[in-house]
Chain A
Amino acid sequence: MIGVLAAASLLRHRARTALAVAGVAVSAAMVLDMVMLSTGMRESFRSLLERGGFQVRVGPRGAMPFDGEATVGGGAGLLDTLRAIRGITMVAPVLGATLHAPQPGGAVAAFALGVIAGSQGDYVLQEGHEAVADGEVVLNDPMLAAVRRRVGDTLTLATGYDPQLRTFSGGRTLRIAGRVRFRYLAADQRGAALPLATLQAMGGDARRDRLSLVMLRVDPAADVEAIRAGIDAALPRVSALSTATALQQAEQRLSYFRQLAFILGSISLVVGFLLVTTIVTVSVHERVGEIAVMRAIGVSRRHVVQQVVLEGLVLSLAGSAGGLALGLVTARWLDSILATFPGLPESVDFFLFQSIPALAALGMLVLTGLAAGAIPAWRAATLPVAATLRREAVA
């Protein structure tokens, strides 16, 4: 009977109920999106870092972890040292550079990686084969489009370009062996990868035997942290960073986002709370006479409270259900906008749906709805019965 009365009260003003549910849905969507935002960036960085299956990255000491410009010399010796360490199962050296392709009217620049095919975690092959032999290169789609080449064609690439004089240095004609997609590049960023030795040779003295980064895969049974610390202690020119530490560092930077998301999410919760309180208060207010009659004929305070709280609960439940759908749609939409943000790896998702935090957030909203109904419910239950009946009879 309480359910019937609560439902009837909500159905009495269908339009108002629908608007309230829509309002709660918007605030629920906002709460959900904020939760998805705060988990999304962290999780996609994690999967990005872990995807290649490398647990330690070794770079020039003193450089920022993801600085592409800094390099370390004596690459061959460094690699030998690293390979000799127990517990390291794969050593993947990387040299980063900018390459320029002469084109009519100027040059097309691409971010280039010198790697050893077969032991790299930077790209995924999509067509052809990897650049294994000296003189081979693989390009991603934006680069292929920019230089109007296909797999199998040749392309001249230079390590130096003077835009004033339009002169190239360190140029070499390479054969395009395959088409690839880079994990850490934005969707429209041009990229190339070639054998490490080829890139080192193209750079002349500036790049001879130099490396930007060495990625290490560690035996699952081995202690990653011990290996990292050992490298740090033994090799003064480099510093080693574990994926876990990198994640921590990334998380520190992302904590600003999380704080922002937390504040905005809380504001949305408050908005949802006020909305439900307002609607339920109005609904109680317009039927104080009925409530007083119910109390007069013997309906308990508890049942009056339950009825009113149920009303708020239904509003917030329906709103949360709507908000779940709305939140997922807006998250996808916002993600697609943010994906075009320049310089961001293509595979970074800003919004990630994880059922536990998402449902916890919506659960919070439902609890908020319960609390929102409690205030008008108490007001309804404690109406002075005789005085209210009298007022209503006069009205």
Chain B
Amino acid sequence: MSGGLSGGASGAAAAGEVVLSARDVHRDYQLAGETVHAVRGISLEVRAGDWVALVGPSGCGKSTLLNLLGAIDRPTSGTIAVRGRDIAALRDRDATAFRLRHVGFVFQRFYLMPQLSALENIELPMAEAGVARAERRARARELLAYVGLDARERHRPAELSGGEQQRAAIARALANRPAFLLADEPTGELDAATGAGIIALFARLNAAGTTIVVVTHDGDLARAARRVIHLRDGHVVNEVHA
């Protein structure tokens, strides 16, 4: 079943097809009258089935870039295209719908809805996308089983360990079969052993065809990726292929 876990609804991209491309992307912030150039002209391409790690010193613009790729932020200039469609200039409503159907977000802190059970958390994006109750419940169960939480579906986030919460968050990110997963320091708050479990989960997903872009300080996670892109001061400084 792993093949159906991502790809799916968005139409499984042929391996090697460019799913995500950024061209000369800039992002400036105005801070107390001063302009912070967080991203200064980054271009990159991510192909279907890729696993890219963005690494670099703190403040170099990794999270900013990831947010731009996921359409929760807009570039000051430059274009970002997903399967050829420009997402940089989407209106809020369209950007939201785009995120819902094409992007799977995983955050450093697990950010599950504390009032909802693990199962309901995974159902949430599907409910938002209008998936019928029985269908979304079945898929949520399938995803929970895939991330190894089938015994915990009724548990609230507070009743799960950090690693379990992050697994649930990954399952939630996969719910609507996104074109790619974006993860910002997904092992940042986990100990090494728990982090290793998450890395293994990413590896399993990627092996099954899921495209992943991950921002990380974690050397183990970066080494597991197929491509490692080094950023400094808002620039790409070099790229290493595994």
Which of A's residues lie within 8 Å of B, judged by CB?
1, 4-5, 8-9, 11-12, 289-290, 293-301, 303, 385-386, 389-390, 392-393
Contacts and interface: CB of A to CB of B under 8 A. Distances in A.
Interface string B63-107: 110010010110000000000000000001100111111010101
Given A297-B125, A298-B99, 12 more contacts: A1-B120, A1-B127, A289-B111, A293-B113, A294-B113, A296-B70, A296-B105, A297-B99, A298-B98, A300-B96, A385-B72, A386-B72
Contacts of A295: 72, 96
A213 B110 CA distance: 85
Q: Which interface residue of B64, B72, B101, B116 has the most chain A CB atoms within 10 A?
A: B72
Contact of A5 (B64, B103, B116): B116
B114 interface: yes
B22 to A, nearest CB: 16
Contacts of B92: 301
Contacts of A1: 120, 123-124, 127-128
Nearest to B68: A386
A389 B128 CA distance: 20
Contacts of A290: 111, 113-114
Given A9-B115, A390-B63, A393-B109, A296 B93 contact: no
A386 B172 CA distance: 19
Contact of A300 (B64, B72, B109, B128): B128
B63 A296 contact: no
B237 interface: no
Contacts of A298: 96-101, 103, 125, 128-129, 176
A299 B105 CA distance: 13
Given A298-B125, A300-B96, A301-B92, A385 B107 contact: no
Contacts, number: 81
B108 interface: yes
- The secondary-structure label for the interface of chain B is helix
Q: Which interface residue of B99, B101, B113 has the most chain A CB atoms within 10 A?
A: B113
B173 interface: yes
Interface of B: 63-64, 67, 70, 72-73, 92-93, 96-101, 103, 105, 107-109, 111, 113-116, 120, 123-125, 127-129, 172-173, 176
Contacts of B103: 298
B125 to A, nearest CB: 5
Contact of B96 (A8, A289, A301, A389): A301
Nearest to B74: A386
A1 B117 CA distance: 12
A297 B172 contact: yes
Q: Which interface residue of B109, B111, B114, B123 has the most chain A CB atoms within 10 A?
A: B111
B113 to A, nearest CB: 6
